[in-house]
């Protein structure tokens, strides 16, 4: 697989978002998760994303065990920023908490360094300069190699970057959520920061496998997301139809076109689609191997200009955490 740069950090053009193996959509058996992670590595993926809050904690443990045999050949990203590692309890990015999370994550990940350490959400009670300074100290100690932010505003990015260079911003970005195009992308380009889009397939919607009749289990995050109500799914079907039309001319799938579209936006964008199934992993990786033509991209842009997304991407209490 081709490589890309997040700041000075080299990774595979597509990473693997590991959250769904333990959190958000239910959980898989440990051995199944290990097999999937190792299958991704065998197929060229070198960038793996986790967080202490996924589980909590179990996802880091899963990733640490799965990647232990090839640790020096991969890049591991994890995150700090929630009280006790529980996203339902609010943010906690106090310096002492960041240091404690780092030490605990190193043990769970079975490693001596965290390649990319993100602040999961900006904590308005702790100046982002203090957060960046704490991670800078961890980098000086060799425990962390690179610093990242997640769902941060332009102001927070600039303030943090002035203290410790930010290698990557992780934020939602897809055909279904293009908010980063308003301000974020130009600032990242200016500062030399990479973008890691999570939910690049619209939390599964852009694969074309979800319909208005789809039901979600109570432990599936999407069950409380306004964008996944039956009405919203039906109203947003035009996005999937567009991807399917383009895919039909390229012997591809809607998911592959959605990922190829993201990769075509900027050379420093590295999407991290997640999955629990081997055949979906292979399908997603196929998106990294296809290049959309100028005509494909023009066709998509023209269609998107006349389309509107229905439904908020988060419930109100979670939406308030993003873009601070």
Nearest Cα to 283, choosing from 259, 303, 311?
259
**223: how many CB neighbours lie within 10 A of its CB?**
12
Q: What is the CA radius of gyration of the chain?
A: 19
At a CB cut-off of 8 Å and minimum separation 6, what does 232 contact?
226, 310, 311
DSSP string, 263-276: HHH-TTB------S
SS3 (DSSP) at 220: strand
Q: Compute the distance between CA of residue 172 and CA of residue 272 in angstroms, rounded to an integer.
A: 10
Distance CA 52, CA 102 (A): 10
Q: For residue 250, what is the DSSP state?
A: T
Task: Report whether 6 contacts 38 (CB < 8 A).
Answer: no
Q: Tell me the H-state helices in 21-127.
A: 30-42, 58-67, 95-108
Residue 59 φ/ψ, nearest 5 degrees: -70, -40
The beta strands (E) that lie in 106-151 are given as: 114-119, 144-150
Within 8 A by CB and 6+ apart from 269, the residues are 4, 173, 194, 195, 196, 197, 262, 263
173 is catalytic: no
| Residues identified as active-site | 54
């Amino acid at each position: 697989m081709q490589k890309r740069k997040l700041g000075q950090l080299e990774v595979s053009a597509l990473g693997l978002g590991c959250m769904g193996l333990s959190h958000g959509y239910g959980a898989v058996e440990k051995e199944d998760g290990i097999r999937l992670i190792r299958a991704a590595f065998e197929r060229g993926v070198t960038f793996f994303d986790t967080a202490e809050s996924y589980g909590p904690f179990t996802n880091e443990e899963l990733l640490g065990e799965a990647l232990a045999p090839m640790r020096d050949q991969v890049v591991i990203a994890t995150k700090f920023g929630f009280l006790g590692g529980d996203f339902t309890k609010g943010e906690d990015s106090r310096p002492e908490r960041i240091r404690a999370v780092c030490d605990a994550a190193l043990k769970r990940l079975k490693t001596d360094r965290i390649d990319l350490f993100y602040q999961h959400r900006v904590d308005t009670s702790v100046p982002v300069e203090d957060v960046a300074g704490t991670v800078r100290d961890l980098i000086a100690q060799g425990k962390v190699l690179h610093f990242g932010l997640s769902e941060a505003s332009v102001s927070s990015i600039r303030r943090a970057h002035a203290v410790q260079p930010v290698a990557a911003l992780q934020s939602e970005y897809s055909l279904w959520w293009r908010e980063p195009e308003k301000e974020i992308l130009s600032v990242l380009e200016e500062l030399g920061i990479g973008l890691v889009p999570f939910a690049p397939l619209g939390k599964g919607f852009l694969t074309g496998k979800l319909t208005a009749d789809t039901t979600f289990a109570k432990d599936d995050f999407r069950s409380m997301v306004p964008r996944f109500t039956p009405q919203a799914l039906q109203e947003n079907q035009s996005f999937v139809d567009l991807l399917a039309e383009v895919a039909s001319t390229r012997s591809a799938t809607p998911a592959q076109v959605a990922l190829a579209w993201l990769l075509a936006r900027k050379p420093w964008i590295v999407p991290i689609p997640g999955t629990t199934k081997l055949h979906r992993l292979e399908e997603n990786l196929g998106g990294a191997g296809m290049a959309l033509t100028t005509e494909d991209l023009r066709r998509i842009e023209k269609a998107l200009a006349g389309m509107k997304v229905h439904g908020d991407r988060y419930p109100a209490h979670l939406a308030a955490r993003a873009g601070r």
